[in-house]
Amino acid sequence: MSKRTFSTVSLVLFFAIVAQAFARPEPDRNFPVLLCIPSIDDTSGIMTGIALLNSSGEDARVQLIYRNNEGNDVGFTEFTVTARTQFAAMAQGVFGESLKGYIEIRAGWEGDIHAFYLRLDAKVETMDGAVATTYREPWRFQVPQSKADQLVTLYFVNGADMSRRDFDAYRDVIFDIVFYNSKKEKTILIRKKIKAGGRGVINLIELSREVGVEDQMREGGYIEISPGKAYIAAIVEVRDQETMLIIPEATRDYLVGNELTFPQLAVGGGSFTEVDFIAEFNWAPVTITAFRDDGTVLASKEFRSVDRVWGRLSDLLDIVPEGTTTGYLVADRVRFGSVRYGFENKTIVNTQYNRPTDTLYFGHVANAVGFWTGLALLNQNPGPTEITIEIFEANGVKSGETTFTLKRNEKIARLLTELVPETDGQAGGYVKVTSSLPIMGLEIFGRYDLASMAVVPPN
């Protein structure tokens, strides 16, 4: 098969079922709820791939429960993910076609389960990935600037008290969905009651049109979901014929002071980076600094008396690169923000920021049938750190590993095949990165023609 051949064959290779599933009449309520994938809707040909990683030395019993918008159990499967292996499957392969709802992931007390999912079309021309989310309260999402034909959809699940594992405490909840425009002006979009275990699906563009703020919504801002002490899982998707973006929660947990770091940027040579930062206070200047991979400053600029800074990084910081320039990005005095990457005027992927840690798991590998997988790692510690990268196949067999030193303020961005040549041709599996000091990281995989890419956030 040619390196540039893309079809559903690719999906089978990446998300073939690798664990035996056992049907049961009903889910076991004694299993604690771990995670949720808020949308597996396959309307307009969009499919969902699921990858579960058990990083522990013990086998883990896992349940996948497919629920509809009313919260009713529609499909169920239970299986074992053995120690240090990966389970990967298409949701349609597990639960059938015409899906409309969400997946709840439960596991026994043994094992340590990480979950990544991918939303994509059959030809792999649009796709993006995210980690399965926990149930918590409240939620806040950035709404990016969107085009006239793009659909912006909020999916949110009423988990009630699932996060406390009290399954008798389900209750209906009234949710307020509030929009803040680029000037932080507030508009209540809707007050909606969602039954216990049910899901809300909100077309944000259509709803904003009804309340007279569609232009502001198209320009972008952020939304808050206020469930009043309930626990929810949520995600925002931006989609059209050429784009699939999964927008993560805009949590403040990742901020160091009011500083936000993204471990990757790319400008020039057809590549571009778009930023969108919400200022902490409009009287406190926002400073955006772009660094090269070696930690030297590429460009920096202070923005005064602003509520929001957004646009192409090269335009904002007056960067005129020679060829493709890569590095990382730091924004100071911001409330939250997001970064998107694109190629030749097509925005392809939205990134999630993450807190530094000494162990990072990336839930998928795609180095076959025309796809590449890349890894970016950033060390912002005051001294060097020792890095070990281990690549495993889905069955837990190690494909290879490499070790190296990452200097202070240094970042590397490499293909997995450059770091570990033995992974050439590997489809499925996972990556484990360990560091002697906490680091940040990001994995992206995509097509060789750069028509589509997807983020694999660290777990």
pLDDT tens across 243-296, in order? Answer: 888 987 876 554 455 788 999 999 999 899 999 988 888 888 999 999 999 999
The structure tokens listed for 352 are: 């999630």
> If one looks up domain 259-347 in CATH, what number appears?
2.60.290
CATH 2.60.290.11 residue ranges of the chain are 139-247, 357-456
Give the whole-angstrom CA distance, residue 385 versus residue 383. 7
How does strand 231-239 pair with strand 151-160?
A: antiparallel
Mean pLDDT of the chain: 86
Question: Helices marked H in 102-237 — which ranges?
Answer: 204-210, 214-219
Length of the chain equals 459
CA dihedral 216, 201, 65, 79 (to 10 degrees): -40
Nearest one of 241, 268, 446 to 349, comparing CA atoms: 446
| pLDDT computed for residue 196 by the predictor | 84
Give the least confident one: 128-137, 149-158, 343-352, 398-407: 343-352
pLDDT tier at 229 (50, 70, 90 boundaries)?
Answer: low
Q: What percent of the chain has pLDDT over 70?
A: 88
| Average pLDDT of the residues in 362-386 | 93
Confidence at residue 437, expressed as pLDDT on a 0 to 100 scale: 97
pLDDT digits (tens, 9 = 90+) for 384-397: 999 999 999 999 99
pLDDT value, residue 5: 41
* 223-238 average pLDDT score: 83
- Check if the beta carbon of residue 229 is closer than 8 Å to that of residue 175: no
Q: Which CATH class is domain 357-456?
A: mainly beta
- pLDDT tens-digit map of 60-82: 999 999 999 998 989 999 999 99
Q: How many CB atoms lie within 10 A of CB 180?
A: 20
Q: What pLDDT score does 29 carry?
A: 60
The pLDDT value recorded for residue 6 is: 41
Q: Which of 4-18, 43-57, 174-188, 379-393 has the lowest mean pLDDT?
A: 4-18
Does residue 380 have a pLDDT over 50?
yes
Mean pLDDT of 82-99: 91
Q: How far is CA 212 from CA 189, 216, 226, 324, 407, in A?
A: 10, 9, 21, 42, 52
Check if the beta carbon of residue 233 is closer than 8 Å to that of residue 36: yes
Tokens of 230: 């309930």
Q: Is 158 within 8 Å of 232 (Cβ atoms)? A: yes
- Asked whether 367 and 446 are in contact (CB, 8 A), the reply is no
Q: CA-CA distance, 431 to 426, in Å (whole number)?
A: 12
Q: Burial of 176 by CB count in 10 Å (0-12 exposed, 13-18 middle, 19+ buried)?
A: middle
List the end-to-end C-alpha distance of the chain, in Å, as a whole number. Answer: 32
Whether residue 166 has pLDDT greater than 70: no
Radius of gyration (Cα) for the chain, nearest Å?
21
- Tell me the whole-structure pTM to 2 decimals: 0.90
Residue 343 has pLDDT above 90, yes or no: no
Task: Report which secondary-structure segment, H or E, holds 218.
Answer: helix 214-219
Phi, psi dihedral angles at 147 (to 5 degrees): -85, 165
Record the tokens describing residue 109, joined without a space: 């007390």
Q: How confident is the model at residue 99 (pLDDT cuts 50, 70, 90)?
A: very high
Residue 9 has pLDDT above 50, yes or no: no
Nearest 5°: phi and psi at 151?
-95, 130
Cβ 422 vs Cβ 399: under 8 Å: yes
Alpha-carbon distance of 424 to 409, in angstroms, equals 29
State which fold the 139-247 domain adopts: Hypothetical Protein Tm1070; Chain: A (2.60.290)
Q: How far apart are CA 279 and CA 339, in angstroms?
A: 15
pLDDT attached to residue 2: 38
Q: Which pLDDT score, from 0 to 100, does residue 183 have?
A: 85
Q: Report the pLDDT averaged over residues 97-113.
A: 89
pLDDT tier for residue 14 given thresholds of 50, 70 and 90: low
Q: Which of 163 and 54 is assigned the larger pLDDT? A: 54
Statement: residue 148 has pLDDT above 50:
yes
Q: What is the mean pLDDT of residues 7-21?
A: 48
* Contacts (Cβ under 8 Å, ≥6 apart) of 101: 40, 41, 66, 67, 68, 69, 74, 199
More confident residue, 449 or 252: 449
Element (H, E) at 418: helix 416-419
